[in-house]
């Protein structure tokens, strides 16, 4: 048996032996309730990661995203980047996990922050999305460093905030500061819960727009003296129903988006507000009689590699213009809130090939290649960092994310850690020597 084969066996044994450590690490991460919004406990989770990784020879940097969207003295946006250097210079593999979790919501049968271990699963908010993935990547990196201590290159593990609210104080900020520059990082794996046999290559594009229609305020008993902005918006909504939704349903993509319902263009009416604002809690009176002079709608359009952003914008504008054509006083404004282009890493990219090979040997099946319906932090690595060699791969079942009784399977974490560790062997060239 060759030296590499021997070491690969050791690597697996080392990860199997870390089972209790992996469970405890996942539990201690879940027990820090890093709920976002508002973005609680970011410094505390950086402290925990710092203590853990420093002990294993990583150099750590903490970066607060001063002035980024969401950052304040009350809720500072803290991130941590830990780097381990090999014997000689070489390429760097970076594991990026977000540390924030969404609010718990209702319907839990266990304490969402107790990190209960039951039936070989760890339960809690963030268990699968994505503290389990973060813990698995740490176990994988530590095992690799122990067994291949003479490796060349570097390994980085980052814990970044705010992914659930767009990632501006997290990966976007770090990318702007050069942390994801392709001259310092060559391969990125994001351990989001995509299932241990799937490689997520990228995501669809996004265009968020706010549309506002204008009218004229008047007494509600004499609406003919005013001009109702909500009725104008109603015309826009029916035009969306009649024209745009059917058009979008016909636009299918070759991107392997999962679930299948998202393998086309989609539109969500995120919110509509018109007329008086909601009264404060405790107000017991009636509303006053007013013709609303403003109505605002937020639209969330997801688009495909086969479309282009300018066409997506124009298509929406055309539908709104057509809706207003026969309405004499129709006035509106369209404001773009946010856009991201679709992205999909090549099947031939080194990180894709390495993880695919590792899934075959460690999970024992052919990997499935998927694309996410929504964006995640890959968008910033791609767009700001200009780093294309990036995927999401991690343990946990995607459908459980953001749900009550979220959990991550311990065996899934072990298997994913083995895939990550073997990917390090390939990407850092330890099998070539
Ligand atoms: Zn996530």
Assess whether 35 and 68 both reside in one domain.
Answer: yes
Sorting pLDDT into bands at 50, 70 and 90, what band is 433? low
Res 432: pLDDT: 83
Residue 382 lies in a domain: yes
Give phi and psi for 400, each to the nearest 5: -80, -15
Tell me the C-alpha to C-alpha distance, in Å, between residue 214 and each of 230, 277, 363: 8, 16, 58
Q: In angstroms, what is the span from residue 200 Cα to ligand 1's centroid? A: 13
Residue 413 lies in a domain: yes
Assess whether 186 and 90 both reside in one domain.
Answer: yes
Sorting pLDDT into bands at 50, 70 and 90, what band is 96? very high
Q: In angstroms, what is the span from residue 65 Cα to ligand 1's centroid? A: 19
Assess whether 220 and 128 both reside in one domain.
Answer: no
Q: What CATH number does residue 45 fall under?
A: 3.40.630.10
Report the share of the chain in percent with pLDDT over 90. 94
Residue 27 lies in a domain: yes
Q: What is the mean pLDDT of the chain?
A: 96
Q: In angstroms, what is the span from residue 254 Cα to ligand 1's centroid? A: 24
What's this model's pTM, rounded to 2 decimal places?
Answer: 0.91
Q: In angstroms, what is the span from residue 172 Cα to ligand 1's centroid? A: 15
Residue from 214, 170, 157, 177 nearest 78 by CA: 170
Assess whether 215 and 198 both reside in one domain.
Answer: no
Q: In angstroms, what is the span from residue 143 Cα to ligand 1's centroid? A: 24
Q: In angstroms, what is the span from residue 343 Cα to ligand 1's centroid? A: 17
Average pLDDT over residues 134-151: 97
Q: In angstroms, what is the span from residue 161 Cα to ligand 1's centroid? A: 11
Residue 433 lies in a domain: no
Q: In angstroms, what is the span from residue 51 Cα to ligand 1's centroid? A: 23
Average pLDDT over residues 107-129: 97
Res 398: pLDDT: 87
Q: In angstroms, what is the span from residue 424 Cα to ligand 1's centroid? A: 22
Residue 41 lies in a domain: yes
Q: In angstroms, what is the span from residue 164 Cα to ligand 1's centroid? A: 7
Q: In angstroms, what is the span from residue 203 Cα to ligand 1's centroid? A: 13
Assess whether 237 and 184 both reside in one domain.
Answer: no
Average pLDDT over residues 316-329: 97
* 169-196 burial: b if 16+ Cβ within 10 Å, else e: bbbbbbbeeebbeeeebbbbbbbbbbbb
Is the per-residue pLDDT at 339 higher than 70?
Answer: yes
Q: Express each pLDDT in 25-79 by its tens digit.
A: 999 999 999 999 999 999 999 999 999 999 999 999 999 999 999 999 999 999 9
Q: What CATH number does residue 263 fall under?
A: 3.30.70.360
Q: In angstroms, what is the span from residue 393 Cα to ligand 1's centroid? A: 11
Residue from 246, 396, 393, 238 nearest 322 by CA: 238
Assess whether 192 and 255 both reside in one domain.
Answer: no
Q: In angstroms, what is the span from residue 194 Cα to ligand 1's centroid? A: 10
Q: In angstroms, what is the span from residue 45 Cα to ligand 1's centroid? A: 16
Total tally of structural domains belonging to the chain: 2
Assess whether 80 and 179 both reside in one domain.
Answer: yes
Q: Express each pLDDT in 177-235 by its tens digit.
A: 999 999 999 999 999 999 999 999 999 999 999 999 999 999 999 999 999 999 999 99
Residue 432 lies in a domain: no
Q: In angstroms, what is the span from residue 125 Cα to ligand 1's centroid? A: 11
Q: In angstroms, what is the span from residue 134 Cα to ligand 1's centroid? A: 11
Q: Express each pLDDT in 261-297 by its tens digit.
A: 999 999 999 999 999 888 888 999 998 999 999 999 9
Res 72: pLDDT: 97
Residue 282 lies in a domain: no
Domain assignment of residue 317, given as a range = 205-277+288-339
Assess whether 78 and 197 both reside in one domain.
Answer: yes
CA 35, CA 131: separation in Å to the nearest integer? Answer: 12
Residue 283 lies in a domain: no
Report the share of the chain in percent with pLDDT over 70. 100
Res 276: pLDDT: 85
């Amino acid at each position: 048996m060759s030296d590499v084969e021997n070491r690969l066996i050791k690597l697996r044994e080392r990860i199997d032996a870390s089972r209790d450590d992996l469970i405890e690490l996942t539990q201690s991460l879940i027990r820090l309730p890093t709920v976002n919004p508002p973005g609680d406990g970011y410094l505390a989770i950086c402290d925990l990661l710092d203590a853990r990784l420093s002990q294993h020879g990583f150099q750590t940097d903490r970066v607060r995203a001063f002035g980024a969207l969401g950052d304040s003295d009350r809720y500072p946006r803290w991130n941590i980047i830990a780097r381990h250097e090999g014997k000689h210079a070489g390429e760097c593999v970076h594991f990026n996990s977000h540390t924030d979790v969404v609010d718990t919501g209702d319907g839990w049968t266990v304490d969402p922050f107790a990190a209960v271990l039951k039936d070989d699963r760890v339960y809690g908010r963030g268990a699968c999305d994505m503290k389990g993935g973060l813990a698995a990547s740490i176990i994988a990196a530590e095992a690799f460093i122990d067994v291949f201590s003479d490796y060349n290159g570097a390994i980085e593990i980052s814990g970044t905030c705010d992914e659930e609210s767009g990632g501006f104080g997290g990966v976007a900020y770090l990318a702007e500061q050069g942390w994801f520059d392709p001259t310092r990082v060559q391969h990125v794996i994001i351990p989001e819960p995509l299932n241990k046999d799937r490689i997520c290559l990228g995501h669809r594009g996004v265009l968020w727009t706010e549309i506002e229609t204008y009218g004229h305020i008047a007494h509600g008993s004499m609406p003919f003296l005013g001009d109702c902005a909500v009725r104008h918006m109603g015309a826009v909504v029916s035009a969306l129903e009649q024209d745009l939704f059917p058009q979008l349903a016909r636009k299918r993509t070759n991107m392997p988006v999962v679930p299948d319902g998202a393998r086309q263009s989609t539109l969500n009416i995120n919110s509509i507000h018109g007329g008086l604002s909601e009264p404060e809690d405790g107000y017991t009176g009636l509303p006053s009689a007013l013709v609303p002079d403003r109505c605002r709608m937020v639209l969330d359009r997801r688009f495909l590699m086969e479309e282009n952003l300018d066409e997506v914008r124009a298509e929406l504008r055309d539908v709104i213009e057509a809706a207003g054509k026969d309405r004499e006083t129709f006035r509106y404004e369209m404001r773009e809130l946010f856009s991201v282009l679709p992205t999909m890493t090549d099947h031939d990219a080194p990180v894709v090939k390495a993880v695919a090979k590792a899934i075959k040997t460690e999970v024992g099946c052919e990997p499935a290649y998927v694309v996410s319906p929504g964006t995640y932090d890959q968008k910033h690595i791609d767009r700001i960092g200009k780093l294309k060699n990036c995927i999401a791969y991690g343990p946990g079942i995607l459908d459980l994310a953001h749900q009550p009784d979220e959990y991550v399977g311990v065996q899934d974490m072990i298997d994913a850690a083995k895939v990550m560790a073997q990917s390090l062997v390939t990407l850092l060239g330890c099998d070539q020597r």
